[in-house]
Chain A
Amino acid sequence: MAGAGHPVLWRIVQTIPVLIGVVVVSFVLTRALPGDPAVYFAGAMATPESIAEVRAALGLDQPLVHQFFRYCAALLQGDLGRSVSTGQPVVEDLATRLPASLELTLCALVLSCAVAIPLGILAAVRQGGPIDHLCRILVTAGVSLPTFFTGIVLIYVFYYLLGWAPSPLGRLDFVYLEPPRVTGFLLVDTLLVGDIETFFGAARQLILPSVTLALFTLAPIARMTRAAMLSALSADYVRTARAAGLAPRTVLLTYALRNALLPVVTTLGMVFSFVLGANVLVEKVFAWPGIGSYAVEALVASDYAAVQGFVLAMAVLFVLLNLVIDLAYALIDPRIGFSAK
Chain B
Amino acid sequence: MSGIVSPAPTPAPERGALAHVGHVLRENPVTAVSFAMFAVIVLMAVLGPALVPYDPLATNAARALEPPSAAHWFGTDHLGRDVFSRVVVATRLDLTISVAAVALSFVIGATLGAIAGYRGGWVDAVLARVLDTIMAFPLFVLAMGIVAAMGNTIENIVYATAIINIPFYARVVRAEVNIRREAGFALAARLAGNSHARVLASHIVPNALPPMMVQVSLNMGWAILNAAGLSFIGLGVRPPTPEWGIMVAEGANYIVSGHWWVALFPGLWLMLAVFTFNLMGDGLRDIVDPRRRT
Interface residues of A (CB under 8 A from B): 17-18, 21-22, 24-26, 28-30, 32-34, 125-129, 140-141, 143-149, 152-153, 155-156, 159-160, 167-168, 223, 226-227, 230, 233-234, 272-278, 280-281, 284-285, 295-296, 299-300, 304, 307-308, 310-311, 314-315, 318-319, 322
Q: Interface stretch among B38-46, B64-72, B268-276?
A: B268-276
Task: Identify B2's interface contact among A22, A141, A234, A272, CB under 8 A.
Answer: A234
The reply to whether A22 and B136 form a contact with Cβ atoms under 8 Å apart is yes
Please judge, given known A-B contacts A34-B150, A272-B138, whether A152 and B251 are in contact too, CB under 8 Å.
yes
Q: What are the residues of chain A within 8 A of B2 when measuring CB–CB?
A: 234
How far does the Cβ of B229 sit from chain A's closest Cβ, in whole Å? 6
Q: Which residues of B contact A296 (CB under 8 A)?
A: 233-234
Q: Across the interface, do A168 and B256 meet the contact criterion of CB distance under 8 Å?
A: yes
Shortest CB-to-CB span from A105 to chain B, Å, is: 11
Minimum distance in angstroms from B12 CB to a CB of chain A? 18
- Whether B271 pairs with A144 at a CB distance below 8 angstroms is yes
Is A152 within 8 A of B149, CB to CB? no
Q: Given A32-B150, A318-B137, A140 and B144 touching (CB < 8 A)?
A: no
Find out whether the CB atom of B137 lies under 8 angstroms from the CB atom of A145.
no
Q: A152-B248, A156-B260, A299-B233 are in contact. Are A25 and B137 (CB under 8 A)?
A: yes
Tell whether, in the assembled complex, residue A311 and residue B142 are in contact, meaning their CB atoms are under 8 Å apart.
yes
B:143-163 near A, CB below 8 Å: 144-146, 148-152
Asked if B62 CB lies within 8 Å of chain A CBs, one says no
Taking a contact as CB atoms closer than 8 A, the residue among B133, B148, B235, B294 that contacts A226 in the complex is B294
Q: Mark B120-144, 1 if CB is under 8 A from A, else 0.
A: 0000000001101111111111101
Provide the residues of chain B in CB contact with A156, threshold 8 Å: 255, 258, 260, 264
**A to B CB contacts below 8 Å, 12 in the list:** A18-B133, A22-B136, A28-B149, A29-B149, A149-B270, A155-B255, A156-B260, A223-B294, A227-B294, A273-B139, A275-B138, A311-B148
Chain B binding surface, main DSSP class: helix
Q: Does B17 contact A (CB under 8 A)?
A: no
In the complex, which residue of chain A has the Cβ closest to the Cβ of B248?
Answer: A149
| CB within 8 Å for A144 and B278 given contacts A152-B263, A152-B267, A155-B255 | yes
Q: Helix, strand, loop or mixed for chain A's interface? A: helix
In the complex, are the beta carbons of B233 and A144 less than 8 A apart? no
8 Å CB interface, B252-292 against A: 252, 255-258, 260, 263-264, 267-268, 270-271, 274-275, 278-279, 282
Q: When A140-B282, A160-B256 are in contact, do A146 and B225 touch as well, CB less than 8 Å?
A: yes
The interface residues of chain B lying within 8 Å CB-to-CB of A272 are 138
Q: Is B50 an interface residue (CB 8 A)?
A: no
A155's partner among B8, B144, B256, B267 (CB-CB below 8 A) is B256
B74 at the interface (CB under 8 A from A): no
Q: Which residue of A lies closest to B273 (CB)?
A: A144
**20 additional A-B residue pairs with CB within 8 Å, beyond A143-B221, A275-B138, A299-B148:** A17-B129, A29-B145, A32-B150, A128-B3, A148-B232, A149-B248, A152-B248, A152-B267, A156-B264, A167-B256, A230-B1, A234-B4, A274-B139, A285-B252, A299-B234, A299-B235, A307-B144, A310-B141, A315-B141, A318-B137
Chain B 36-60 interface mask (CB, 8 Å, partner A; 1/0): 0000000000000000000000000
User: What separation, in Å, do the CA atoms of A213 and B257 have in the docked complex?
Assistant: 24
Q: Report the minimal beta-carbon distance from B134 to chain A, rounded to whole angstroms.
A: 8
What residues of chain B lie closer than 8 Å to A276, measured between beta carbons? 138, 140-141
Measured between alpha carbons, how far is A18 from B294 in the docked complex, in Å?
33
Quick check: is B191 within 8 A (CB to CB) of the other chain?
A: no
What is the minimal beta-carbon distance from B1 to any residue of chain A, in angstroms? 6
Q: CB-CB < 8 A to B257: which residues of A?
A: 160
User: Across the interface, do A277 and B140 meet the contact criterion of CB distance under 8 Å?
Assistant: yes
Beta-carbon contacts under 8 Å, B186-241 to A = 221, 225, 228-229, 232-235
